[in-house]
Amino acid sequence: MVESKISPELMVALGTTEEEREKSLDLNVGYSDLLDKWELIIRYTGSLEEIKEELDISVEELLGSYAVIRISQHLIDRLSEYSQIDYIEKPKSLILSQMEGIVASCVNRVRLPDYNLTGRGTLVACLDSGEFVNLVLD
């Protein structure tokens, strides 16, 4: 195993039991009990064809030399040994990312009593490609 290629979060998840991962909000993100496989994000260089054939894994190539793969846990060590693989990480929980964003933006205080502000009724505009879109948060 090439540990420098595996994200710290994935290393922790791989080092815990399935029961321990299930108790966590984040450690089990990316693991499917039904398929008994991990869905991971990889950064790679070159072609993934050799890896796909040798490990018999599912690969969905994305832009910018990234891909999403579905792989059994026992094959992750072998995956890290391929020279084409630059980095392997597990997906992030959107709930935890949202919570981190709320804390980082310092809006927790206005969401608490005495203020109890929620954003309800706020007009939001997003400009993208010259189109104007607005919505009212409920």
Q: What is the pLDDT of residues 94-120, one digit of tens each?
A: 665 666 666 777 766 666 777 777 777
Cis amide bond preceding 114, omega within 30: yes
What pLDDT band is residue 2 in, cutting at 50, 70 and 90? confident
Integer Cα distance of 95 and 85 in angstroms: 29
Peptide bond into 77 cis (omega under 30): no
For residue 126, list its beta bridge partners. Answer: 133
- Domain boundaries 3-89, corresponding CATH code: 3.30.70.80
The model's pTM is: 0.66
| Domain range summary for the chain, segments of one domain joined by + | 3-89, 94-136
